[in-house]
């Protein structure tokens, strides 16, 4: 659907380019982007002649509204776009090719690799990292202590996590050893669950994204791990119907371990100082860690007359000053070469989020929403059926078939 919508907008935009002031960059961001990027814009606007005019668009409306704005010649100069949608807009010819400029940046090779990969289409770069998010594993140190576990020892394998979960559950009451949002939240589970298979070298899509590869020994082992956690009552029953609204259940202080986003480190520190917690990389089923790289890419609308001003602003965002401002307000650095200096003086647990970038992945597909994010899509349906249902083989077979059908229909 998105692909068809985008395909109709190129001519309309070419006939109606925006005529906004050359020294004022118009930029859209999704609601909830947080203070980090807003503070960078504030600093840039106060220091230079050029200005960035931000418009927040509701997260659920941004993709549709941007495509419609392109068709009407009213698109902003730049956009903070969820990186998973970058390939679709690039394929539709709606974004500026930033390849030569991007590769000329002296720190280009230190930018988040998953973001650059998702920003690349047919060997040309259309998106660069703006905000970086990674998935990590958190554990509650106080519950570890109460369960007789070493609170300073980060679990390194799923065997450890499962054993710890049972000991924490044995504390009784409404204290549980593990949590995940398994009720049709495809986005939650691609973020926190897929690293189990990725760490072991498996994937849910082929390298060229033309084949569904969900039925692998590694994914079956990952499913078994979660099924056992559920079967042994280490996960609250509400997990089965949680569509993401309770994604940060860890913050209630009664969950021993949970895979979360690095963004939650700031949430825990500022809003839940009573919780003593540690964070580590998410182990794969064979112990090798992985992570999901999420966040936004910075993209530029094709045909904007303010391309040079946009580039100047992005370079400021990538500067030491810009990166420190973003980190101060809770965003991970997008540049690995200066990450250590940027995070100096901040919570040391943020470094785990940075370490995750090096092992993180993001599925590359023009059909991300239909395959993965949709609550009724094959990935979300598979997760619930495979982990909570009685027919695991059927769940794998159905997901493999449905994902392949969606992929084939989009070719």
Contact 79, 66 (CB under 8 A): yes
Q: Where are the domains of the chain?
A: 23-133+294-361, 135-292+364-410
Backbone angles phi, psi at 329, to 5 degrees: -105, 20
Give the separation between CA 137 and CA 278, rounded to whole angstroms: 8
Q: Do domains 23-133+294-361 and 135-292+364-410 have the same CATH topology?
A: yes
Residue owning tokens 């698109």: 75
**What does the longest C-alpha to C-alpha distance in the chain come to?**
69
With 0-12 / 13-18 / 19 or more C-beta atoms within 10 angstroms meaning exposed / middle / buried, residue 23 is: exposed
CA proximity to 225, closest of 178, 190, 279:
178
CA proximity to 173, closest of 147, 150, 152:
147
Pairing of strands 127-140, 277-280: antiparallel
Give the separation between CA 339 and CA 320, rounded to whole angstroms: 9
How many beta carbons lie within 10 A of that of residue 269, not counting itself? 16
Q: What angle do CA 196, 132, 197 make, to 5 degrees?
A: 10
Q: What share of the chain is helix, strand, coil (3-state, %, to 5)?
A: 45, 20, 35
Give the pLDDT score at 1: 54
Which pair of tokens denotes residue 123? 């060997």
* Cβ neighbours for 322, distance < 8 A, ≥ 6 positions apart: 40, 43, 44, 316
* Cβ neighbours for 169, distance < 8 A, ≥ 6 positions apart: 175, 176, 177, 232, 233, 234, 256
CATH number of 135-292+364-410: 3.40.190.10
Contact 38, 130 (CB under 8 A): no
What is 23-133+294-361's CATH number, 3.40.190.10, 3.30.70.20, 2.30.30.240, 3.40.50.300? 3.40.190.10
Each residue's pLDDT expressed in tens, for the chain with a length of 411 residues: 555 555 544 444 444 443 344 479 999 998 877 789 999 999 999 987 899 999 999 987 998 999 999 999 999 999 999 999 999 999 999 999 999 999 999 999 999 999 999 999 999 999 999 999 999 999 999 999 999 999 999 999 999 999 999 999 999 999 999 999 998 899 999 999 999 999 999 999 999 999 999 999 999 999 999 999 999 999 999 999 999 999 999 999 999 999 999 989 988 998 999 999 999 999 999 999 999 999 999 999 999 999 999 999 999 999 999 999 999 988 999 999 999 999 999 999 999 999 999 999 999 999 999 999 888 999 999 999 999 999 999 999 999 999 999 999 987
Give the pLDDT score at 18: 39
Contact 390, 373 (CB under 8 A): no
């Amino acid at each position: 659907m998105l692909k068809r919508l985008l395909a109709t907008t190129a001519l309309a935009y070419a006939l109606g380019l925006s005529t906004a002031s050359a020294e004022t960059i118009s930029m859209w961001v999704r609601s909830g982007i947080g203070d980090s990027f807003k503070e960078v814009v504030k600093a840039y606007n106060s220091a230079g002649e050029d200005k960035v005019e931000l418009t927040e668009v509701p997260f659920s409306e941004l993709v549709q509204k941007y495509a419609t704005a392109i068709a009407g010649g009213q698109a902003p100069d730049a956009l903070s776009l969820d990186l998973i949608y970058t390939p679709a807009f690039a394929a539709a010819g709606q974004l500026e090719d930033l390849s030569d400029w991007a590769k000329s940046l002296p720190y280009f090779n230190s930018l988040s690799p998953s973001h650059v990969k998702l920003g690349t289409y047919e060997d040309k770069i259309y998106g660069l990292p703006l905000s970086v998010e990674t998935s990590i594993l958190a554990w509650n140190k106080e519950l570890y202590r109460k369960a007789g576990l070493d609170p300073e020892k980060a679990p390194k394998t799923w065997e450890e996590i499962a054993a710890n979960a049972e000991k924490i559950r044995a504390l009784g009451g409404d204290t549980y050893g593990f949590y995940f949002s398994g009720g049709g939240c495809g986005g939650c589970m691609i973020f926190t669950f897929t690293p189990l298979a990725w760490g072991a070298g498996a994937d849910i899509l082929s390298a060229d994204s033309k084949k569904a590869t969900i039925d692998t020994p590694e994914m079956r082992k990952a499913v078994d791990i979660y099924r056992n956690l559920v079967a042994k009552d280490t996960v609250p029953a509400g997990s089965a119907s949680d569509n993401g609204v309770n994604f940060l259940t860890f913050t209630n202080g009664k969950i021993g371990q949970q895979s979360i986003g690095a963004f939650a480190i700031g949430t825990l520190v500022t809003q839940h100082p009573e919780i003593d917690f540690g964070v580590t990389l998410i182990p794969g089923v064979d112990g090798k860690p992985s992570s999901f790289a999420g966040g936004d890419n910075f993209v530029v609308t094709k045909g904007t007359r303010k391309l040079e001003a946009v580039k100047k602003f992005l370079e400021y965002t990538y500067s030491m000053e810009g990166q420190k401002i973003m980190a101060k307000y809770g965003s991970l650095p997008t540049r690995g070469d200066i990450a250590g200096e940027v995070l100096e003086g901040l919570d040391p647990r943020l470094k785990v989020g940075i370490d995750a970038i090096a092992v993180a992945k993001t599925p590359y597909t023009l059909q991300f929403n239909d395959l993965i994010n949709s609550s009724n899509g094959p990935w979300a349906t598979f997760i619930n059926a495979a982990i909570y249902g009685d027919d695991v083989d059927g769940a794998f077979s159905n997901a493999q078939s449905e994902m392949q059908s969606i992929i084939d229909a989009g070719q």
